[in-house]
Amino acid sequence: MNSAIVRNLLVRGMLAGLGAGVLALVAAYFLGEPSVDKAIGFEEAHAPAHEHEVELVSRSLQSTAGLATGVLIYGVAFGGIAALVYCFALGRVGRFTPRATALLLSGCALLAVYVVPFLKYPANPPAVGDPDTIGKRTTLYFLMMVLSVLLAIAATILGKRLAPRFGNWWATVAAVLAFALAIGVAYAFLPVVNEVPADFPATVLWRFRLSALAMQATLWAGFGLVFGELAERLLNPGPAAAASASTAAASG
């Protein structure tokens, strides 16, 4: 794959990430923000009077412009990174079309980068978690994420090596089972973190975590669909576009 195609895919990946970020922003605002407001209300109601602090940034600004800025920047950044990974994976993970490869990559990335770490260390709303352990919790989460990504890569390599001997179906089954077993071992050995206050509303916690998962699913699904279409048009242009390009090359 030449540098011009990589550059074009990178730009398309960032644009697709921006579009997916808009979709994720809608999900975060309508699904996540109500739970955040309730969690903040719980925190304020249980804090001593002398611990109330003046907000440097208003809650309304945080839930609108602040949320939009964070989500959209994240979408553009992860879109660019995902596009570079796509350039490496295209043609190496199987004989899939550019569109199918983008969807497959997005689904696997959602699973390895977010879902697997989320199941071990789920997202928490405000008022949940000890401020003194935030460094430890962050380290554990990123360790789980790195392990998940590395194990997913190892499972992919295992599946490709087993395919010539056992066929694609059984090689895939073996790779998935090996990945699940390794993740289970990681879950068992990594420490458990449970700092939810005893009187914190279970419904608020559940809805917040569900909204966080929905936001990420929206982001990755949106990216896979948009980027897949853009990559398909670039790498597999229609007959008319291909003929036009051939004519232009011949005349030049």
Count of domains forming the chain: 2
The CA-atom distances, in angstroms, between 197 and each of 43, 146, 200, 205 are 10, 29, 5, 11
CB atoms within 10 A of CB 128: 19
The C-alpha atoms of residue 5 and residue 199 are separated, in whole angstroms, by 55
Which tens digits make up the pLDDT trace of 108-149?
999 999 999 999 999 888 778 777 888 898 999 999 999 999
Amino acid 18: pLDDT: 95
Amino acid 56: pLDDT: 59
Is residue 9 domain-shared with residue 57, that is, in the same domain?
yes
Which tens digits make up the pLDDT trace of 36-59?
888 878 776 766 654 555 565 666
Which tens digits make up the pLDDT trace of 207-242?
999 999 999 999 999 999 999 999 999 988 865 444
Looking at mean pLDDT, say which of 54-58, 93-97, 159-163 comes out highest.
159-163
Whole domain around residue 180: which residue ranges?
A: 130-195
Is residue 186 domain-shared with residue 61, that is, in the same domain?
no
Amino acid 46: pLDDT: 66
* Percent of the chain whose pLDDT exceeds 70: 86
> Residue range 10-26: average pLDDT?
94
CB atoms within 10 A of CB 199: 7
Q: Across the chain, how many H-helices and E-strands are there?
A: 9, 0
Is residue 101 domain-shared with residue 220, that is, in the same domain?
yes
- Sign of the Cα torsion 57, 60, 63, 68 reads negative
> Residue range 99-113: average pLDDT?
92
Q: What is the pTM of this model?
A: 0.82
Mean pLDDT lowest among 62-66, 113-117, 137-141, 186-190: 62-66
The C-alpha atoms of residue 33 and residue 73 are separated, in whole angstroms, by 19
Is residue 162 domain-shared with residue 70, that is, in the same domain?
no
Strand ranges in the chain using DSSP code E only, listed in sequence order: none
Q: Where does the pLDDT of residue 35 fall: very low under 50, low under 70, confident under 90, or very high at 90 and above? A: confident
- Average pLDDT over the chain reads 85
Pick from 195, 218, 241: which residue ends a domain?
195
The C-alpha atoms of residue 224 and residue 26 are separated, in whole angstroms, by 17
* pLDDT top residue among 125 and 15: 15
Amino acid 249: pLDDT: 47
Is residue 22 domain-shared with residue 86, that is, in the same domain?
yes
Is residue 95 domain-shared with residue 204, that is, in the same domain?
yes
In Å, how far from its chain's centre is CA 2? Answer: 27
Amino acid 19: pLDDT: 94
| Start-to-end CA span in the chain (Å) | 23
Check if the beta carbon of residue 49 is closer than 8 Å to that of residue 79: no
CB atoms within 10 A of CB 230: 22
> Residue range 167-174: average pLDDT?
91
The C-alpha atoms of residue 82 and residue 102 are separated, in whole angstroms, by 9
Is residue 110 domain-shared with residue 50, that is, in the same domain?
yes
Amino acid 155: pLDDT: 93
Instruction: Give the residue ranges of DSSP H helices in 28-66.
Output: 33-46, 59-61
Mean pLDDT lowest among 74-78, 95-99, 159-163, 211-215: 95-99
Which amino acid does the sequence have at 139? T
Is residue 26 domain-shared with residue 13, that is, in the same domain?
yes
Is residue 88 domain-shared with residue 156, that is, in the same domain?
no
Amino acid 66: pLDDT: 78
